[in-house]
Structure 1
């Protein structure tokens, strides 16, 4: 049965402390609440893993006081004994310390690079790398050009009409045109990034009492949008080619599915590219079921030989999301949402209700970059850099089953026993490397997420990337340290 995704508790409750604010000896109870515990392992181990993951991500800091055994047992719906075993396991790993009469606290001495004050190597973020591209110089040149163009300035300041500038929509349509996908500018709405587009589309398309179908490991942005809108998510089985059509058919029979979320190109977190045959089969299944498709495609242009998007195969039922931020410049927060006529009024209404318009200045920069070839040069540079880094990662991680495409700027690293995602995230952070835990990508609590995502990021130079990957290889080969991260 489908069930709603559960949000992490982040709001301060009366009489409680937020993570990072409770100090040893404080009279306030701990304010920390873990995400839903993974169900593929004993609950006490899943609790210890959740503590390790939140320590690694900085959501729990040295000195934070955890809830009492009884309070956390009520929150999680488990026994007090389970919490006691979970805390004991976390203490065995060196994460916790307890003092009689004062409570249980996060220990110090971990969560930083061994070299005091050294920068952590961030492989947790997803910022596709680029080589020999000075984005600041490009932006300065474009802004200087806009500043002397009174027609462009008039377009930017005149937003009373409540619609994107036609020239901006035409540029977006030209940028997205690929093989059989040739969107009309009238189908396009610019948004404040891909996340805004996803949330607006969900708001418009998911009917009350229905669910979103997605792969078992999926884009956290989709999950964040679903949580924000309190929409339930059902996980559909996938294989090496992506979502399995027969499993989707079964999910549609067993659940009131209204929207199917697909990531055919450079899937997050795996970095895979869905073959054309699978795209066609899923499009046919969605047409048969009469459901909407939300095609999440922010990295698609990084794969020049990618097959047609689902939006070209099922145009009357597919909302397609692209993004300038991930492939041109992180600060260029422009999403491109292509909608079919039957959904356009609802989707545009949702976009207007949440942001009115994408920033016209960003739209003008984007349109100029598309028109003068800057966008193509940036994409080519990112493809070259990502391909080189993917090859390096493939060589260094050769013993492990990496399935990401050659152009992928991120990859999924399955973990050998006895590693869990929480343990590796914490150990890697102690060794100076940030990685993203698999639980962040799990569509539901029942999904095993024995892996981490690695981003081959723009902020990390080649030498530091190599060192970071070698650090991970050494950790995996050595196995978890008995006694934890003490």
Structure 2
């Protein structure tokens, strides 16, 4: 994918400590789940990324490497050609094949952009289109279901749909009653409704300094101030939250307890309990933003189970089942239920009953659980791949996270990396998209391990990103 372009590098880097002697390089064991020539190109890219190969290093001759690997000379030639196509190596007639002194930033003609900017958990070995087709055929053949879809009673969610939502959310000590549930037109709709109903005039929403951009967009639309609260590796810190809530300046606290956006971390049980205690003492409302929670089967109890009288829990079918299944699940504390339902009705009246019927059937028949299990398994595999390729960087995302936060090495800036990555055909999200304010340090990027990208393209894209990071930005800070 990477094609070399003119940019000067200091050739003295070829003499760095640990660089292999001319022609002495030997790759680590090649991946057996893909063509050998592609695995060889991947091995070259990985060793460049991890400093085992540097600019100007000469690779073994085709014949010598073929003998070492036990493959044909033609296979090595194809592997070197693939590495050259990616801009990693260059051949010189009569001299051999060398690691290039710079890495290009232009995608090969015809290559499509690899979208690692979106957040859509990988599907695993499951065909959601076939499952949806079966369900829609079943609905069409069921007169009772059709009446539910067409004649929703007085504009209310069908009781069976709310019960399915309650069953779906039940986890550990969190056992919401169906009467507490309101279905919405997706998780973002639920978030907007909760903010509009719960934030008191003249007060602010508190969240972590890096947070869900959906919250920031909703707050801007509603003209609500947002306060950044310090966080550490375990999430928002209780002392910082207590300081933010002092004096009544904050009326709503936004928490992402499981697989938060953008870091992918899971807040430990003890920290959840401590945050719930702070919120109880301060008398503030909590919006627990939890669209990905189902991917972590052993997650701690949500804050909604620890502080049910003050917590509005927001979940979504779209992120973990299917993007087109725009069904949000809003668990409402009794004291605020009337306000929350009114806010939902004012903004979208109610969730589409047909989507509610599909969701309810998937829950009741166990289809939803199978989809989530497949997505979680696929996310674990991809997260492990990303962690291996990015092993020199500090990745905090949980094993089931379908995305991760990549802190950037100096002298890169987020803007430079995003621009350079796009030029090699990879889309990633800059940290500024998640920052509460410009004063917030957002020296990183979010990488999505998305369903639309197959395993091979993901591997190559990550290798290209690491090669870019190792090469460094262009002189003058341009990308």
Q: Same fold (TM over 0.5)?
A: yes
1:424 aligned partner: 417
SS at match of 1:391: helix
SS at match of 2:286: strand
Matches within 5 A, 1:116-131: 116-131=109-124
Deviations 1:430-483 (A, max 9, x none): 011000000000012210100000000000011110101011111111110114
Q: Say if 2:438 is the partner of 1:436.
A: no
Q: C-alpha offsets along residues 191-223 of structure 1, whole Å, 9 cap, x if unaligned?
A: 010000000000000011000000000000100
Q: 2:274 matched to which residue of 1?
A: 281
Q: Which residue of 1 aligns with 2:154?
A: 161
Q: 1:262 to 1:358 in 2, by over 3 A?
A: same
Aligned partner (choices 225, 230, 235) of residue 237 of structure 1: 230
Q: Which runs of 5+ in 2 are unaligned?
A: 1-104
Aligned to 2:48: none
Report matched runs for 1:402-421 at 5 Å.
402-421=395-414
- Residues 160 and 177 of structure 1: is their aligned pair in 2 closer, same or farther, counting only changes over 3 Å? closer
Alignment of 1:314-333 (within 5 A): 314-333=307-326
The reply on whether 1:460 has 2:473 as its aligned counterpart is no
In the other structure, the counterpart of 1:143 is 136
Count of residue pairs the alignment pairs up = 376
Q: Please state whether the residue corresponding to 1:427 is helix, strand or coil.
A: helix
User: Structure 2 vs 1, CA of residues 451 and 266 (structure 1 numbering), >3 Å: closer, same or farther?
Assistant: same
Return the alpha-carbon distance in structure 2 between the equivalents of residues 412 and 446 of structure 1.
Answer: 19
The alpha carbon displacement at 1:484 in A equals 5.3
Work out which of the residue numbers 334, 341, 348 in structure 1 matches 2:341. 348
Alpha-carbon distance between aligned partners in 1 of 2:436 and 2:396, rounded to the nearest angstrom = 20
Offset at residue 410 of structure 1 (A): 0.3
**Highest CA radius of gyration, 1 or 2?**
2
Secondary structure of 2:475 counterpart: coil
In structure 1, how many angstroms separate the alpha carbons of the residues matched to 2:407 and 2:365?
Answer: 42
Q: Distance in 2 between matches of 1:153 and 1:224?
A: 36
Q: CA offset at residue 131 of structure 1?
A: 1.4
Partner residue of 1:388 out of 381, 386, 389: 381
Aligned counterparts, 1:80-91, within 5 A: none
Q: What is residue 4 of structure 1 aligned with on the other side?
A: none
Q: How far did residue 159 of structure 1 move?
A: 2.7
Query: Residues 130 and 384 of structure 1 are in contact (CA less than 8 Å); yes or no, is this contact kept in structure 2?
Result: no
Structure 1 unaligned runs (5+)? 1-111
Task: For 1:183-198, list aligned pairs within 5 A.
Answer: 183-198=176-191
Give the Cα separation in 2 of the matches to 1:208 and 1:445.
Answer: 24
Alpha-carbon distance between aligned partners in 2 of 1:264 and 1:361, rounded to the nearest angstrom: 30
Q: TM-score if structure 2 supplies the norm length?
A: 0.77
Q: Is the 8 A contact 1:322 1:335 kept in 2?
A: yes
Deviation at 1:130, TM superposition (A): 1.4
In the alignment, what sits opposite 1:449?
Answer: 442
Cα shift at 1:254: 5.6
- Looking at structure 2, the residues matched to 453 and 425 of structure 1 have their Cα atoms a distance apart, in angstroms, of 10
After superposition, what is the alpha-carbon deviation per residue over 1:42-84, rounded to whole angstroms, capped at 9, x for unaligned? xxxxxxxxxxxxxxxxxxxxxxxxxxxxxxxxxxxxxxxxxxx
CA distance in 2, matches of 1:189, 1:382: 25
1:171-182 correspondence runs (5 A): 171-182=164-175
Q: Which of 106, 114, 118 is equivalent to 2:107?
A: 114
Q: For 2:323, what is the secondary structure of its paired residue?
A: coil
RMSD of equivalent CA atoms = 1.3
Distance in 2, Cα, partners of 1:299 & 1:441: 17
Report the Cα distance in structure 2 between the residues aligned to 1:113 and 1:230, rounded to whole angstroms: 40
Residue 307 (str. 1) matches residue 310 (str. 2): no
- Matches of 2:476 and 2:281 in 1, distance apart? 54
Which 4+ stretches in 1 moved above 6 angstroms?
none
| Residues 260-315 of structure 1 deviation map (CA, whole Å, 9 limit, x = unaligned) | 00001001000000000000000000000000000000000000000000000000
